[in-house]
Amino acid sequence: MRVSRYLLLLLLSISQSACAVDPLPRLNLPPGFQIDYFAENIDDARSMALGERGTLFVGSRKAGKVHALVDEDADGRADRRYLIAQGLRMPNGVDFRDGALYLAENHRILRFDRIEEQLDKPPQPVVIANLPDSPHHGWRYMRFGPDGYLYFAVGAPCNVCNEAGFAVIERMRPDGSEREVYAEGIRNSVGFDWDPASGDLWFTDNGRDWLGDDLPPDELNHAAAEGLHFGFPFCHAGEIADPEFGDQKRCAEFVPPAQKLGPHVAALGMRFYTGQQFPAAYKNQILLAEHGSWNRSTPIGYRVALVRLEAGRAIGYETFIDGWLGDDGSVAGRPVDLMVMPDGALLISDDKAGAIYRVSYRH
């Protein structure tokens, strides 16, 4: 049975890869919103970061590259692009601080100083931290928090296991000092952000595989304090004891998800919408990218979702943009990360289409 399932998945993957479809005409947005390309032909466009001068940096995990995109005439479309580095090992997470680009490879975190001054001739990077080099869930997500620490996720090196030094979100000073675990019991987070009202950390987490099509849900979690444990590998989604590890600890010992997401939707990047362009109903609400299931009998995800909050609690979970997954099962794209721009527009990266979209609202 397992061989048959893998064969079906392989055939689905081949059929999806062979179908090069322009995603834009397929996408469904709420009334008043429009979407266009900010940039195309960006190999494996993944995590994004914005420089002080408006440069958009993009990590490309499978391509081993980091790109820089510049919208010189401020028309909402990148005019120039630069290759900052190549030949890297899973360069996924990126962020920007004090003139420097920070980049997370699988096995280390690098810093490119004064990067926006030398996009056409990037400096040699400085290594500021070494990371576990397991390739399984080895695409690190990374961002600076409001406390000035650099936060980064180290996913579990497995589907489900209990390995020291993994399944955590860590933080450290920009120079690599004062490194510590901030939260644990996190199977694989590839997106987090901080509540602009409370300063609390929120993050997505991908649930384990091979418990069936509908179990467990992916998670949106809320870390209201340092030192919390979110259950992996003992408990999933706050209530599902793991078949292998669940007899060691009770689900009641852990922090349950703030919002259960769809099962296997592969929730990745998330942002609080802090711009002024969208309607007031979107202000300080969570938008998150669901990359899409890879091993579910009926694929789901492949959309950008909206989680509505009230008084710091999730009260709703709905579609914001969909259409990357067609009614016929064809996949035109897979959203990965989100970025709120200074003008209030929303950027969405897509590693399948090799594109970055720009979502805007017409009043």
Task: Supply the range of the domain harboring residue 146.
Answer: 2-45+136-361
Residue 16 has pLDDT above 60, yes or no: no
Closest CA to 44 of 71, 74, 66: 66
Residue 275 lies in a domain: yes
Q: How many CA atoms lie within 13 A of 19 on its CB side?
A: 17
Please give the residue that has the higher pLDDT: either 9 or 302. 302
What is the distance between the alpha carbons of residues 351 and 289, in angstroms, rounded to a whole number?
Answer: 12
At 363, the pLDDT band (50, 70, 90 cuts) reads: confident
Domain total of the chain: 1
What is the token pair recorded at 243? 């078949």
What confidence score (pLDDT) does residue 19 get?
Answer: 45
- The answer to the question of residue 56 being in a domain is no
**SS3 for 6?**
helix
For residue 21, name the pLDDT band (cuts at 50, 70, 90): confident
Residues 1-27, mean pLDDT to the nearest whole number: 56
3-state secondary structure of 58: strand
Classify residue 186: in a domain, yes or no: yes
| Residue 288 domain flag | yes
Whole-angstrom Cα distance, residue 144 to residue 148? Answer: 6
18 burial (CB, 10 Å; 0-12 / 13-18 / 19+) is exposed
pLDDT over 80 (residue 4): no
Structure confidence by residue, pLDDT tens digits, 208-261: 999 999 999 999 999 999 999 999 999 999 999 999 999 999 999 999 999 999
Whether the per-residue pLDDT at 8 is higher than 90: the answer is no
Q: For residue range 125-179, what is the model confidence (pLDDT) as tens digits?
A: 999 999 999 999 999 999 999 999 999 999 999 999 999 999 999 999 999 999 9
C-alpha closest to that of 45 among 329, 358, 360: 358
The answer to whether residue 251 sits within a structural domain is yes
**Residue 224 one-letter amino acid:** A
- C-beta of residue 72 within 8 angstroms of C-beta of residue 120: no
Q: What pTM did the predictor assign?
A: 0.94
Strands 228-229 and 180-184: parallel
- The answer to whether residue 198 sits within a structural domain is yes
28-86 per-position pLDDT tens digit: 999 999 999 999 999 999 999 999 999 999 999 999 999 999 999 999 999 999 999 99
- CATH code where residue 237 lies: 2.120.10.30
Cα distance between residue 171 and residue 272, in whole Å: 20
Residue-wise pLDDT tens digits, 260-305: 999 999 999 999 999 999 999 999 999 999 999 999 999 999 999 9
User: Within a domain: residue 280?
Assistant: yes
Domain-embedded: residue 97: no
Single-letter residue type at 296? R
